[in-house]
Amino acid sequence: MPQLESFIEVPSGSDFSIHNLPYGIFSTPDTAPRAGVAIGEYIVDLSVLEQVGLLPIKDTPVFNQSTLNEFIAQGPIHWQAVRAAVQNLLIAENPRLREDAALRAQVLVPQNQAQMHLPVEIRGYTDFYSSKEHAFNVGCMFRGADNALMPNWSELPVAYNGRASSVVISGTDIVRPSGQIMPTGATRPVFGPSQKLDFELEMGFIVGRKTSLSEPVPVEIAADYVFGMVLLNDWSARDLQQWEYVPLGPFNGKSFGTSISPWIVPMAALAPFQCPAVTQEPKPLAYLQEPQRHTYDIQLQAAFVVEGQETVVCESNFKYLYWSMAQQLAHHTVSGCNLQVGDLMGTGTISGPTPLSRGSLLELNWNMSQAVHLSGGETRYFINDGDTIVMRGFCEKEGIRVGFGEVRGTVQAALDFPTLAAL
Catalytic residues: 134
Give CA separation, 172 vs 112, 164, 240, 406, in Å. 17, 15, 22, 13
Query: Would you say 344 and 164 are in contact if contact means Cβ atoms under 8 Å apart?
Result: yes
Which candidate, 1, 15, 14, 3, places its Cα nearest to that of 265? Answer: 15
Q: Measure the N-to-C terminal CA separation of the chain; round to a whole number of Å.
A: 56
DSSP symbol at 384: P
- The half-sphere exposure of 168 on its side-chain side, counting CA atoms within 13 A, is 16
Nearest Cα to 194, choosing from 243, 228, 124, 233? 243
In 208-291, at which residue ranges do the beta strands (DSSP E only) sit?
226-233, 236-237, 258-260, 265-266, 274-276
CA distance 326 to 219: 6
Radius of gyration of the chain (CA): 22
**Dihedral pair phi/psi, residue 119, rounded to 5°:** -75, -20
Q: What are phi and psi of 47, to 5 degrees?
A: -65, -35
